[in-house]
Structures are given as structure tokens and as C-alpha cells.
Amino acid sequence: MKVLVAIDGSACSELALKEICQRPWPIGSHFKVVTAYEVPMPASPEGWALPPTYFEELDRTLRKQAQTIFESAVKSLKEKLDESMIVDGEFVPGPPKSVILTEAESWGADLIMLGSHGYRAWERFLLGSVSQGVVSHAKCSVEVVRCAGTNGSPKAAA
């Protein structure tokens, strides 16, 4: 089984990783961890007189953050899953929804697993919902691991 694991470092992503580690998987299952990052663009072409190196520095910082999130997730899965499981992946620049859908399709994923931030209607309208977009457009099964609280706070253990 090929499982694409989309993470962003949030508490909901951590909950998705935990869910993966608690389940039995077919021997030899392959888990591809994907972290997407994108550099925000200014609202105007002038960039509001930003220093020439601003976007290079921002890209470098976001790339480093994505790499840290990615490496932590891969390490966690390798430590907790059976030795027969394959765990690898990458961090990719681009809009998260597009990156997840493209990677899943090109890799031939059987399942996409990701966390949901649990945004309410207004937040979804303003920020968009990656999980909703992935569920709507994926060509394979998708599991969204939900956090019980709002704004990504995970459900407390009972």
C-alpha cells in the first residue's frame, strides 16, 4: 500500500502521524511524507520597497522550516513503524493543495492522510481549506484526521 502523508508541522499533522503509527499496515507498505511550503508574494509589484534579498531570505527560512518538519516526521515514522515499512519523502515548494494532489497522482498513492485544522466557515473562506480541496480533487482515497478543538488544538485524551 502506498500512503502519501501530508504534514505541515501543526498539532493536527502530529495527530495524523500518531494515527498512522497506531494502525496495522500491510507488510511492505510505503509511506511518502510530503511537506509543502510557499513564499508569500506582495500585493503589489513594487513589494513595498523591500530589500532586494528579502524574498531570498524568506525562501531560505521557509525551506529550512519545511526540511525540519519533514525530517522530524520521517524520523518519527521510521522509529515507530514496523521495519518492513518504507518511509521516505520530500519537502516541495508550492501551494500545499496543489503539491499534495500532484505528488499523490504522480506517485500513484492508494491513500492520502493529512490533518485538518478544523477551521470554521469564516476561517475557511479567508484561509482556504487544504484538506477540503484534497478530498474534493484527489484521485485516490483520502483520510482527514481531525483535531477536536478549534485552530488545530488536538483532542485531549479521555
User: 46 in a domain, yes or no?
Assistant: no
151 assigned to some structural domain: no
* Better-predicted residue by pLDDT, 23 or 129: 23
Q: Encode pLDDT of 3-49 as tens digits.
A: 999 999 888 899 999 999 999 999 999 999 999 988 776 655 665 66
The reply to whether 156 falls in a domain is: no
Judge whether 81 and 30 are in contact, CB under 8 Å.
Answer: no
> What is the edge-to-edge ordering of all strands in the sheet holding 86-93?
86-93, 30-37, 2-6, 111-116, 141-146
The share of the chain scoring above pLDDT 70, in percent, equals 80
pLDDT average, residue stretch 106-132: 72
- Is the pLDDT at 126 greater than 80, yes or no? no
65-91 pLDDT per residue, tens? 999 999 999 999 999 999 999 999 998
> Which of 64, 83, 81, 67 shows the shortest CA–CA distance to 17?
81
Position 47 in a domain: no
Range(s) of the domain holding residue 132:
2-41+53-146
The number of folded domains in the chain is 1
CA angle 152–156–158, rounded 5-degree value: 155
Residue 23 lies in a domain: yes
Where helices occur in the chain by DSSP H, the ranges are: 11-21, 54-80, 96-107, 121-127, 130-137
Query: For residue 157, is it within any domain?
Result: no
CATH of the domain at 82: 3.40.50.620
**Closest CA relative to residue 134, chosen from 108, 111, 107:** 111
Q: Is residue 153 part of a domain?
A: no
The pLDDT, as a whole number, for residue 24 is: 95
**Within a domain: residue 155?**
no
Residue 51, pLDDT score = 79
